Structure 1
């Protein structure tokens, strides 16, 4: 862990220069609307960058006796793996099966296994909470959660202590409250080829 930690502004500049911090009118996976979108895959496409962020998160948990890092698929996979590599511990993930987050692929947990859940971006904390529930259902002890970016500015509650490398205050709106929708602008759902409606 020899990197000098990047500052808040350096991390955001990395996201901007990678084209990972977008401005517009977006429909987020949470169902909320926002003027900005973070496409972490672009910020993590070079392994050295993913490993640097992974080491920065791992450094926060060196003394917590974490046994396993877990992430919800698919957004958390690269950063979760990078954190596990930095801690030299096991990595696994949860994924949706028939709409429910679950452990699959033969992953099992020993009773009380100490787990850190890692995501790329947290907005509402929904997928992190679902991942935690699946891990607890499998007998794990989720002791903390972490992300590169926290769009909720520390507000999202995932039921365990949580840290982020960067906290942002990015307003989100329901469709009914969205000023961009009110102005007649249709949201764009990242990853799709057409507008959301």
Structure 2
């Protein structure tokens, strides 16, 4: 298992914690952004982070690992590799999260949902819904970074490599917007 300090060191060395004025996937604004893609570009870091999650869920008899596109694809792949089970992903079509590309979940399969970063948990909830509609059993949620400080609840066990409280604001209540000094940018994969 990684310690908190070791995890922070990995994210720092990869340059993944950014400072500025960001629009999050949830639509909220923040002065910090965790760009996990910068960590996931390094296989040695990805392996360590995924191993940490796999060890947390070792006793769950996971049959399949799933994550949302884009952020969860690499995480799902490496956690699945750690377990020796298939790794698949969901993606949005016409704004609806779904299985595509021939991916299926069989009724009764034990499914671990993974994601790179959660703030409000919206994408993970959508994946959980896809799994449950397919008849899969969600055994837990594993995330690399929980930006909510641990407050997001999925109704199942949740484990994070790194739990942080990164402040975020509704757009109409954003102090960075009021200051007007730094333009808001959306560094994530959804526009």
- What TM-score do you get using the length of structure 2 for normalisation? 0.94
The SS at the match of 2:172 is coil
1:69–1:91 Cα contact (<8 Å) kept: yes
| Of 64, 67, 87, the match for 1:68 | 64
2:66–2:76 Cα contact (<8 Å) kept: yes
Count matched residues. 189
| Of 170, 174, 181, the match for 2:170 | 174
Give the CA deviation at 1:92: 0.8
Give the CA deviation at 1:182: 1.3
Unaligned runs of 5+ in 1: none
Cα distance in 2 for partners of 1:49, 1:29 equals 24
1:72–1:95 Cα contact (<8 Å) kept: yes
Unaligned runs of 5+ in 2: none
Give the CA deviation at 1:191: 5.2
| Of 158, 169, 186, the match for 1:189 | 186
What are the Cα deviations for residues 2-48 of structure 1, in whole angstroms up to 9, with x where unaligned? xxx33212212221221111011100111010110011011111212
Indicate the residue corresponding to 1:149 in structure 2: 145
Greater relative contact order (CA < 8 Å, ≥ 6 in sequence): 2
Indicate the residue corresponding to 1:82 in structure 2: 78
- Flag the 1:107–1:54 CA change in 2: closer, same or farther, 3 A: same
Indicate the residue corresponding to 1:137 in structure 2: 133
| Of 51, 55, 72, the match for 1:55 | 51
| Of 158, 162, 165, the match for 2:161 | 165
The SS at the match of 1:76 is helix
Cα distance in 2 for partners of 1:30, 1:53 equals 24
- Flag the 1:191–1:116 CA change in 2: closer, same or farther, 3 A: closer
Cα distance in 1 for partners of 2:106, 2:185 equals 42
The structure in which a higher percent of residues are helix is 2
1:50–1:82 Cα contact (<8 Å) kept: yes
Cα distance in 2 for partners of 1:147, 1:112 equals 23
What are the Cα deviations for residues 126-145 of structure 1, in whole angstroms up to 9, with x where unaligned? 00000111111112111210
Tell me how large the CA RMSD over aligned residues is: 1.4
For the pair 1:99 / 2:95, whether they are aligned, the reply is yes
